[in-house]
């Protein structure tokens, strides 16, 4: 509607005059439904003429509108346009062309959309004199447009549900419509994509081929749908291969209106095919007879076919010892694959949550600030870890990382590893079961051999002390009255020695059976080695005195070790007993304890040496000891045994993270060396 303001020909609700823009027409009458012709006198501000249909349009008569002012029924001005120009080049006569769109409220309270078109004549000063115009009801058109928009929104939602890319371009290849799948393929959102030319997304070196193809489908044979495969450059400059199916829409004259195309990213399909193939290969490899490490190596190689994997490791959670172990690890910077206690690294984060995680430096900082993780080792630009589960229990984590390029891994790689993690877990589970079964078979075989050996030793070696014990006991029982005091004393001594030997043998048998059945509770603690040696020597005091052995002790009483006291006492007691057993009367046994350094590090250990000048061990028997074979030989005073002492000692020392070494030569004595972790080193482990 015109504004009566000659200095600023603009329009707004506040500028609409009391009467709308009028159309001057003299005696002209126009009464078509929905159209109102009018004539407005700018001098009086009133309508000179309004066609009767104004009441159908507004509910008001011309006089009522002159009285209340047309401005009062206008609720909103949505657009307006004013143009001024000379009539036929006459410099003395100018006109003003006006267009506006309003939302009005009728007399009955109904809202209507109307358009206002008019021409106003201007005087020589540019002031409006008189205007002639038409008001037109466009409510039905707006309702139709709203319905179209609603249908379009519904159609867009349907398109967005499709897992296939859908796109529509006009005849100039400007993008008119694209669905969500298409946005994901293009790597942008609808606002970024719609309005751009499809040519902008074609790699430069392929644009001439693309233009030729478009020309062929537009001007070629009249085929409704055409298919092709082409390359697409995304917003992040990735090149994707797309299989297109194009449909051409033409008008009744055969002119192209638009092209609707559906597209499928072939790289995704090929990736899925590759993933299925790799999963099948991994499961086949798990069924092979190869060692678990070889299966891990194959898994690494398989993952490398899907993504960059130069830094790759598999971590296990050892729940019994609460350790993180690394059965397979390949890394360009960090080659430390030793077991470690569970901490708050990213690997442990995946173990805790049971979910895969993609961590760039920003995400890493967030986790650090929340106290979820701590920085361990070299920091990566991007880190990707997925849980390995067996029966919904997280057993470990598979990890790939890149130290230089943060774009190496995305959600796509995370999804791929999530998919392959299950068959990898199954493969690992199968190989673990196979490996454990093989170990169990070997253990059972060894246990069976040990049992046979043990029963053989028991049946042979226990006879001697029992025969001696029973024989002399029988003599005492039947011939006591005829025996001299010296004979009775001698026989009692023999019985006493036999009983002690049997007690020692029985103790070792009990220790052996408990150890084999896993009944020993391993409880390491700080223990003074000098005190342990004192107690052991106290139990051997009688044997030392009987053989008149020179005992030399070089022991630093301040030295402590970190070990299980029961196991070490049993082991040390057996070794000292052997030293005395195989030393001649009047011989020498030397015991020394010292702290020594480990290589060039600050770490240290405790070395215990038991040395004798006895009969020594023949070379063939050293081999039997090395092969963990149980056998027994009598001592220098016919002391009996069943060959379990040294066998138990080696295992008990190994359990305490120690080492046992034997050096001996027949006729030249024996030296047994024991290395145990000291307290300080053990605390720092």
Q: Does domain 287-417 have CATH number 3.30.420.310?
A: no
- 353 has pLDDT over 70: yes
Q: What is the pLDDT of residues 48-58, one digit of tens each?
A: 999 989 999 99
pLDDT computed for residue 603 by the predictor: 66
Q: What share of the chain is helix, strand, coil (3-state, %, to 5)?
A: 40, 30, 30
What is the average pLDDT across 199-220?
85
Among 26-30, 53-57, 462-466, 645-649, which is the least confidently predicted range? 26-30
In this prediction, residue 459 has a pLDDT band, given cuts at 50, 70 and 90, of low
Q: Is 275 helix (H, G, I), strand (E, B) or coil?
A: helix
> Among 397, 311, 313, which Cα is nearest to 352's?
397
* pLDDT band at residue 537 using 50, 70 and 90 as cut-offs: confident
Where exactly are the structural domains of the chain? Answer: 13-137, 145-269, 287-417, 520-683
Digit-coded pLDDT (tens) for 134-171: 999 888 877 777 777 777 777 667 677 777 888 999 98
Q: Which pLDDT belongs to residue 609?
A: 92
**pLDDT-derived band of residue 107, with 50, 70 and 90 as boundaries?**
very high
Reduced to 3 states, what is the DSSP secondary structure of residue 80? strand
Dist. CA 52–CA 35, nearest whole Å: 10
Is 145-269 CATH 3.30.450.20? yes
Rounded to an integer, the average pLDDT of 266-294 is 78
Does the pLDDT of residue 523 top 50, yes or no? yes
Strands 393-402 and 357-360, bridge-based pairing: unpaired
At residue 21 the predicted structure's pLDDT band, cuts being 50, 70 and 90, is: very low
Write down the pLDDT at residue 149. Answer: 73
pLDDT value at residue 197: 92
Q: Please name the residue that has the structure tokens 């991007």.
A: 382
Cβ contacts of 76 within 8 Å, gap of 6 or more:
13, 102, 103
At the topology level, CATH places domain 520-683 in: Heat Shock Protein 90 (3.30.565)
**Confidence at 174, pLDDT banded by 50, 70, 90:** very high
* Domain over 13-137 is classified CATH 1.10.760.10: no
**How do residues 574-600 score in pLDDT, each as one tens digit?**
888 888 888 999 999 999 988 887 655
Q: Using 50, 70 and 90 to split pLDDT, how confident is the model at 92?
A: low
Average pLDDT over residues 489-502: 71
Q: Among the residues of 168-260, which ranges form H helices?
A: 180-186, 190-193, 207-219
Q: What value does the CA radius of gyration of the chain take, rounded to a whole number of Å?
A: 50
Q: What is the pLDDT of residue 685?
A: 40
Sort strands 323-330 and 312-318 into parallel, antiparallel or unpaired.
antiparallel
pLDDT tens digits, 538-551: 878 888 888 898 98
The yes-or-no answer to whether 287-417 and 520-683 have a common fold is: no
Phi-psi region at 391: left, alpha or beta (left = phi > 0; alpha = psi -120 to 50): left
> Residue range 354-361: average pLDDT?
91
Helix (H) or strand (E) run with residue 423 in it? helix 411-461
> pLDDT for 611-644, tens place per residue?
999 888 888 888 887 877 767 777 888 776 556 6
Please report the pLDDT score of residue 27 as a whole number: 34
Q: What is the overall mean pLDDT for the chain?
A: 79
Alpha helices by DSSP H, 41-138: 54-58, 62-68
């Amino acid at each position: 509607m015109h504004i009566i303001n000659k200095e600023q020909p603009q329009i707004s609700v506040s500028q609409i005059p009391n009467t709308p823009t009028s159309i001057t027409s003299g005696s002209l009458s126009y009464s078509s439904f929905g159209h109102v012709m009018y004539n407005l006198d700018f001098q009086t501000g009133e309508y000179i003429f309004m066609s009767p249909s104004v009441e159908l349009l507004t509910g008001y008569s011309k006089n009522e509108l002159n009285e209340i002012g047309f401005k009062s029924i206008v609720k909103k001005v949505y657009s307006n346009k004013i143009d001024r120009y000379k009539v036929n080049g006459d410099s003395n006569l100018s006109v003003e062309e006006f267009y506006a769109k309003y939302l009005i409220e009728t007399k009955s309270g109904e809202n209507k959309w109307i358009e206002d078109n008019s021409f106003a004549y201007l005087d020589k000063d540019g002031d409006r004199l008189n205007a002639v115009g038409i008001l037109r009801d466009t409510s039905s058109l707006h309702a139709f447009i709203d319905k179209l928009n609603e249908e379009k929104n519904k159609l867009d939602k349907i398109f967005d549900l499709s897992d296939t890319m859908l796109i529509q371009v006009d005849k100039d290849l400007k993008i008119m419509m694209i669905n969500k799948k298409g946005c994901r393929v293009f790597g942008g959102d609808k606002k970024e994509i719609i309005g751009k030319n499809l040519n902008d997304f074609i790699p430069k070196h392929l644009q001439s081929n693309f233009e030729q193809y478009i020309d062929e489908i537009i001007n070629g044979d009249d085929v409704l749908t055409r298919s092709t495969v082409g390359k697409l450059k995304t917003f992040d400059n990735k090149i994707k291969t797309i299989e297109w199916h194009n449909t051409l829409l033409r008008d009744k004259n055969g002119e192209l209106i638009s092209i609707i195309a559906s597209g499928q990213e072939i790289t995704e399909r090929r990736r899925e095919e590759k993933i299925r193939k790799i999963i099948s290969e991994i499961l086949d490899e798990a069924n092979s007879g190869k060692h678990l490490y070889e299966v891990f190596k194959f898994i690494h190689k398989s993952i490398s076919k899907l993504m960059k994997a130069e830094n790759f490791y598999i971590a296990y959670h050892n729940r019994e010892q609460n350790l993180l172990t690394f059965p397979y690890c390949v890394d360009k910077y960090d080659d430390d694959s030793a077991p470690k206690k569970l901490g708050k690294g990213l690997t442990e984060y995946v173990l805790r949550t049971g979910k895969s995680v993609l961590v760039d430096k920003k995400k890493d900082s967030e986790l650090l600030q929340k106290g979820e993780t701590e920085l361990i080792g070299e920091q990566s630009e991007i880190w990707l870890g997925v849980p390995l589960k067996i029966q919904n229990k997280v057993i470990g984590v598979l990890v790939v990382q890149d130290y230089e390029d943060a774009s190496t891994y995305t959600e796509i790689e995370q999804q791929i590893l999530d998919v392959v993690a299950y068959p990898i877990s199954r493969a690992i589970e199968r190989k673990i079961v196979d490996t454990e079964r093989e170990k169990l078979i070997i253990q059972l075989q060894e246990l069976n051999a040990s049992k046979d050996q043990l029963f053989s030793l028991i049946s042979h070696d226990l006879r001697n002390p029992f025969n001696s014990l029973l024989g002399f006991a029988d003599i005492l029982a039947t011939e006591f009255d005829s025996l001299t005091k010296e004979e009775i004393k001698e026989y009692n001594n023999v019985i006493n020695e036999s009983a002690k030997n049997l007690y020692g043998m029985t103790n070792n048998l009990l220790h052996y059976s408990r150890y084999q059945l896993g009944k020993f509770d391993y409880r390491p603690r700080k223990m003074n080695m000098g005190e342990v040696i004192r107690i052991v020597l106290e139990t051997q005091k009688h044997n030392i005195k009987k053989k008149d052995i020179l005992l030399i002790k070089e022991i630093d009483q301040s030295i402590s070790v970190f070990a299980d006291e029961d196991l070490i006492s049993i082991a040390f007691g057996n070794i000292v007993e052997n030293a005395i057993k195989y030393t001649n009367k009047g011989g020498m046994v030397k015991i020394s304890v010292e702290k020594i350094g480990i290589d060039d590090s600050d770490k240290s250990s405790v070395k215990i040496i038991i040395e004798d000048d006895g009969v020594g061990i023949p070379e063939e028997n050293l081999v039997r000891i090395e092969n963990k074979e149980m056998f027994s030989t009598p001592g220098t005073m016919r002391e009996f045994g069943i060959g379990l002492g040294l066998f138990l000692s080696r295992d008990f020392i190994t359990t305490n993270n120690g080492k046992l070494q034997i050096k001996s030569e027949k006729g030249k004595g024996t030296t047994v060396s024991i290395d145990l972790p000291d307290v300080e080193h053990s605390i720092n482990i």
